[in-house]
Amino acid sequence: MQVLHDTFADDPLINVLGAHFGAGDARMAGRESVEEYAEAGDFTYPMVADGRGIAAAFDVRAIPCFIVVGPDGTIVAEHRGMLRDEARDRLADAARAARPTG
């Protein structure tokens, strides 16, 4: 996810956003807050503190899940599972293709 954020860091029309799932999220490993989680992982992309609403809206049933949402709010690409190079490249291509023009 950090690689996708870094890829689009200079593009104001493409945003990478993480969704956090709270204290029950095993990735927290005793950390007190989303900020501590991000700092420990050197993550610089923004994170939503309670991702359950996002998960419900996009039918996320397991993590990790990566979704590219177009300007009109529709899903243009998604990947469920660990993000390897091929999947990351496919998501980046989908984000570029969905990018608003003008």
In tens, the pLDDT along 6-16 reads 999 999 989 99
Residue type, 53: G
Do 67 and 78 meet the contact criterion of CB atoms below 8 Å apart?
yes
Closest CA to 55 of 98, 20, 6, 16: 20
pLDDT at 29: 54
Question: How is residue 58 annotated by DSSP?
Answer: T
Tell which wins on pLDDT, 73 or 24: 73
pLDDT at 41: 85
pLDDT at 32: 63
> Average pLDDT in the 13-35 region?
72
Q: Under CATH, which architecture does the 2-98 domain have?
A: 3-Layer(aba) Sandwich (3.40)
